[in-house]
Structure 1
Amino acid sequence: MKFKITISPFKIAQYLTFGVIFLTICSIAIQIGKYIFDYREPWTRLFNLDREMNIPTWYSGLMLISCGLIIRGIFAIKRSLSDRFWRQWKILSTIFFLLALDEIASIHEILIIDDLADALNLPSFWHSVWVIPGTVLVIIFIWKYWKFIFYLPKQLRRYFLIAISLYVGGALGMEMVGSYYDGIDGQQNLVYAMLATVEEVMEMMGCVVFIYSLLTYLGELDADIGVNFYIKNKS
């Protein structure tokens, strides 16, 4: 049996954006309830963008996995065409799968160690020590991928740069801003919570832009992509 599913990159991006808006509104309402009205029920952690292992975390993680899967499809097409950058597409898909694993499992949180930052005498904006290796990895990525990025079609390159700016600006830039403010007035206040919210929203919207651009490009490469499902009965 054959069936056809039509995917609109714009509609997908629109629905994902609605999801980001919904989670953002929920988180802001929860933060206001917590710091202004002292409402601290356990269920609020499920929608708090400043918490890990909850609904926003899984939402971000699944978007990163989606990016990895779409890139995997582009990689398959590029390899079949012997494109000069097909290996970069393969590596890029792996990077997104690793980012998804880190997002869901909060691996980078291990390096947020107050004593380590104090022992290294780091400035307050590097209080989250993981931003140091994170910045190094971003520099290495740019060094390795700048030719790949400028080889992309103009529209795709524009969306890539926007997505990277949003995601890295949130993950590293806003993390450093939050750490700096933490050194001034701590984390248990509404201002810090709003900074953390901006950080997460930037990351999620970076993923939305990535997904939109990747689906659009995938459609341009092959507008009629077939996906086969095989069901094998046990003998």
Structure 2
Amino acid sequence: MTSAGSTQPISTDAAPEPVQSGLSMTVRAGPVRWALLLVAAVLLLCSVVGQLLSRAHPESEVYASVMRATNAGLEGNLPSLYSAALLLACALLLGLLARTVRPRRGIEARGWRTLAWVFAYLTADEYLHLHELLTAPLRHLLRVDGVLHYAWVVPYAVLGAGLLAALLPFLRSLPPRILTRLLAAAAVYVLGAAGLEMLGGLLDTRLGEAAPALLAASTLEEGLEMTGAILFIGVLLDSLGAARPGATVTLAFSGAASS
């Protein structure tokens, strides 16, 4: 027992007060575009060098491994991961735009949200090459070759045309400057994904898959796809800046204070 006048000891085991800290980042579209384009250029250069080394030394397993890891035309490697990451960034920015403009412009919010789902699918398709599963069955069904050697472009072209028609009201609602840049980015991407793919099909049919011209076409194809996605990211960042001028991205950290 303690005397009436004694003082109880103060416990030092009480839970410490959390310490809050923040990190604010200002994202500018211009530097982001140039940084992403630089990474794309490095990856494409590595792809070309890896394929040339593998062809010059077909007996080398080391060069074959380098080629598989860097070949922009294959799935599950560094270039395909980077391309998928670019498309995923587009999907996330589109979703953020849909939430940003929803209270003010319903038709614009629906358009951004639709594109977010489209780019979410394109992300999975880019990394897993889902479209290639359609090539052989459709080539046999439609009895096509040459520019349609990679026959997946047929249903994707039909779906793309339908999507464009459905999005016309949304596109008309956009500011002219944003619309022009958006269509330019889409044109670059489609030129690579479909146009160069059709050229590659023709070269594959006439020259064979080992032709140097096919290597150049496939590299240019992936380069245009990456460039189109990067330009699209730049447009989305500018659109977010216009919707929320001066907005910043804030990361909050919480840690325990020393007792």
Normalising by structure 1, report the TM-score.
Answer: 0.91
Q: How far, CA to CA, are the matches of 1:162 and 1:82 in structure 2?
A: 24
Q: Which of 26, 32, 37 is 1:17 aligned to?
A: 37
Q: Which of 120, 123, 132 is 1:100 aligned to?
A: 123
Contact 1:124 1:183 in 2 (8 A): yes
3-state SS of 2:75 partner:
coil
What is the one-letter code of the residue matched to 2:31? K
Contact 2:83 2:126 in 1 (8 A): yes
Shift of 1:46: 0.9
Q: Deviations over 1:86-109 (max 9, x none)?
A: 111111111111100111121111
Choose between structure 1 and 2: higher strand proportion: 2
Q: How far, CA to CA, are the matches of 1:209 and 1:7 in structure 2?
A: 15
Partner of 2:25: 5
Partner of 2:145: 123
Distance change in 2, residues 1:89/1:230 (3 Å)? farther
Partner of 1:147: 169
Contact 2:23 2:251 in 1 (8 A): no
Q: How far, CA to CA, are the matches of 2:219 and 2:237 in structure 1?
A: 27
Q: Which of 75, 82, 87 is 1:64 aligned to?
A: 87
Contact 1:35 1:190 in 2 (8 A): no
Q: How far, CA to CA, are the matches of 1:25 and 1:16 in structure 2?
A: 14
Shift of 1:128: 1.1
3-state SS of 1:135 partner:
helix
Shift of 1:58: 0.6
Structure 2 gaps, min length 5: 1-20, 255-259
Which deviates more from structure 2 when the two are superposed, residues 115-124 or residues 39-48?
A: 115-124
Please show how residues 175-214 of structure 1 align to structure 2 within 5 Å: 175-214=197-236
Which deviates more from structure 2 when the two are superposed, residues 140-149 or residues 92-101?
A: 140-149
Q: How far, CA to CA, are the matches of 1:72 and 1:119 in structure 2?
A: 37
Which deviates more from structure 2 when the two are superposed, residues 209-218 or residues 33-42?
A: 33-42
Which deviates more from structure 2 when the two are superposed, residues 74-83 or residues 169-178?
A: 74-83
How many pairs align?
A: 232
Shift of 1:158: 1.5
Shift of 1:118: 4.1
Choose between structure 1 and 2: higher helix proportion: 1
Contact 1:31 1:190 in 2 (8 A): no
Structure number with greater CO (CA < 8 Å, separation at least 6) is: 2
Q: How far, CA to CA, are the matches of 1:116 and 1:135 in structure 2?
A: 14
RMSD across aligned positions (CA): 2.2
Work out the percentage of aligned pairs sharing the same amino acid: 27
Which deviates more from structure 2 when the two are superposed, residues 30-39 or residues 163-172?
A: 30-39
Q: Deviations over 1:154-181 (max 9, x none)?
A: 2211211111101111111111110011
Structure 1 gaps, min length 5: none
